[in-house]
């Protein structure tokens, strides 16, 4: 629990999470449990893989996005059966609900599994079982976003996009939109123009990681060549005042991940995440956990860290949550429900503060 006098408000706020990779919710303990159950061989030449504790300690010393991704891709090799994907997603949904998340739009990386021989239907059946439980038992709404790995050749991404079972998951509404993730610097957004054009023609929602390690120009590029309506991370936007103005006016939402930015050395501390600049410029953003099992905090810890570093007022928090609801990809009806919960929470908080 953080020391902020408004911690109770931060907990109670109805949060929408828009930037969480389900594979990044794989805790070291679940990783080791599944490795034992599935007979997965973990690297023997890396002492980090000796135990959950040693792995956890290694996660405190990432040197870059690519250093993290090395562990991230090895970690997910323990996911084999639908029940593994279900256990992973269910553990995240429970943690998120305890953090006050009411609506979660979750990323997954199909190519990282299909390349190991795990069928797309295996991934989806596991995730959908967990989503069903989240809806029934936690009253949480969820959407799936299929991410493409930008370190792979664009034709491979297109081939995955065109696979019959992937197309079917778009058509039947199981998957709402697409994203672009993995190593950023050498793989600018425009390489994936054709993929995003096709997704747009099919009416899919579109987002992409940009401006995490890469420059602000990658953000402009993602907007111009991919037609995205959200930018994942986007912290480098603060370095380009003109582009910041353009993003503010267009209503494009950034999905900011403060702990991730610190752990991956994109900034030195949460105080350096340009929260104030974005608020002052009218840039909409939500606050997210990215890969909570790797970066030492779920969404509430990210909210608390932002509060401790930037000392926001309750009205600013209300506006951030409202922008998150409005920028979500759920139905209008669900947005109205979430806005109503937000109004009630704010009302209760203000009445309690008067006592």
Ligand X SMILES: Nc1ncnc2[nH]cnc12
Which of 17, 23, 105, 212 is flagged as catalytic? Answer: 212
Tell me the closest approach of the beta carbon of residue 260 to ligand X, in angstroms. Answer: 5
User: Per CB under 5 A, which of residues 236..295 are in contact with Zn ion?
Assistant: 290
Tokens matching residue 189: 């957004």
- Asked whether residue 181 is marked as a ligand-binding residue, the answer is no
- Asked whether residue 21 is marked as a ligand-binding residue, the answer is yes
Q: Please give the Cα distance from 256 to 35 (Å, whole number).
A: 32
Contact between 184 and Zn ion by CB under 5 A: the answer reads no
Q: Of 95, 103, 205, 209, which one interacts with ligand X (CB under 6 A)?
A: 209
Contact between 181 and ligand X by CB under 6 A: the answer reads yes
Count of residues engaged in binding Zn ion, rule: CB under 5 A: 1
- Asked whether residue 67 is marked as a ligand-binding residue, the answer is no
Per-residue binding letters, 24-63, with ligand X (x by CB under 6 A): x---------------------------------------
Q: Is residue 167 within 8 Å of residue 138, measured between CB atoms?
A: no
- Asked whether residue 290 is marked as a ligand-binding residue, the answer is yes
Per-residue binding letters, 224-263, with ligand X (x by CB under 6 A): ------------------------------------x---
Tell me the closest approach of the beta carbon of residue 221 to ligand X, in angstroms. Answer: 16
Tell me the closest approach of the beta carbon of residue 176 to ligand X, in angstroms. Answer: 18
213 is catalytic: no
Contact between 212 and ligand X by CB under 6 A: the answer reads yes
Active site residues: 212
Interacting residues with ligand X (CB under 6 A): 21, 24, 65, 72, 181-182, 209, 212, 260, 290-291
Binding-site residues for substrate, in ranges, read 291
Binding-site residues for Zn(2+), in ranges, read 19, 21, 209, 290
């Amino acid at each position: 629990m953080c020391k902020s006098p408004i911690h109770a408000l931060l907990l109670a706020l109805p949060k929408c999470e828009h930037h969480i990779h389900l594979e990044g919710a794989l805790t070291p303990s679940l990783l080791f449990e599944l490795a034992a159950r599935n007979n997965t061989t973990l690297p023997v030449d890396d002492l980090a893989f000796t135990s959950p504790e040693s792995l956890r300690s290694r996660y405190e010393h990432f040197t870059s996005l690519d250093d993290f991704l090395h562990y991230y891709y090895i970690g997910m090799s323990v996911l084999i059966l639908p029940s593994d994907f279900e256990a992973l997603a269910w553990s995240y949904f429970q943690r998120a609900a305890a953090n006050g998340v009411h609506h979660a739009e979750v990323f997954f990386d199909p190519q990282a599994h299909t390349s190991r021989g795990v069928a797309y239907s295996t991934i989806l059946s596991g995730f959908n079982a967990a989503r069903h439980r989240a809806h029934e038992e936690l009253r949480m709404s969820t959407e799936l976003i299929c991410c493409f790995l930008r370190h792979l050749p664009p034709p491979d991404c297109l081939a995955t996009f065109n696979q019959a079972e992937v197309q079917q998951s778009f058509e039947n509404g199981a998957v709402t939109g697409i994203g672009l993730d993995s190593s950023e610097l050498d793989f600018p957004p425009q390489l994936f123009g054709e993929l995003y054009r096709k997704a747009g023609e099919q009416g899919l929602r579109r987002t992409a990681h940009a401006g995490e390690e890469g420059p602000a120009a990658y953000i402009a590029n993602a907007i111009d060549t991919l037609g995205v309506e959200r930018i994942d991370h986007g912290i480098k936007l603060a370095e380009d005042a003109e582009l910041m103005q353009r993003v503010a006016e267009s209503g494009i939402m950034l999905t900011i991940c403060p702990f991730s930015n610190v752990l991956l050395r994109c900034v030195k501390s949460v105080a350096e995440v340009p929260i104030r600049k974005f608020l002052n410029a009218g840039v909409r953003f939500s606050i997210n956990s990215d890969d909570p099992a790797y970066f030492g905090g779920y969404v509430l810890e990210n909210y608390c860290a932002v509060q401790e570093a930037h000392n926001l007022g309750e009205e600013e928090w209300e506006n951030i949550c409202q922008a998150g609801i409005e920028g979500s990809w759920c139905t209008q009806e669900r947005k109205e429900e979430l806005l109503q919960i937000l109004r009630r929470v704010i009302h209760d908080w203000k009445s309690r503060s008067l006592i």
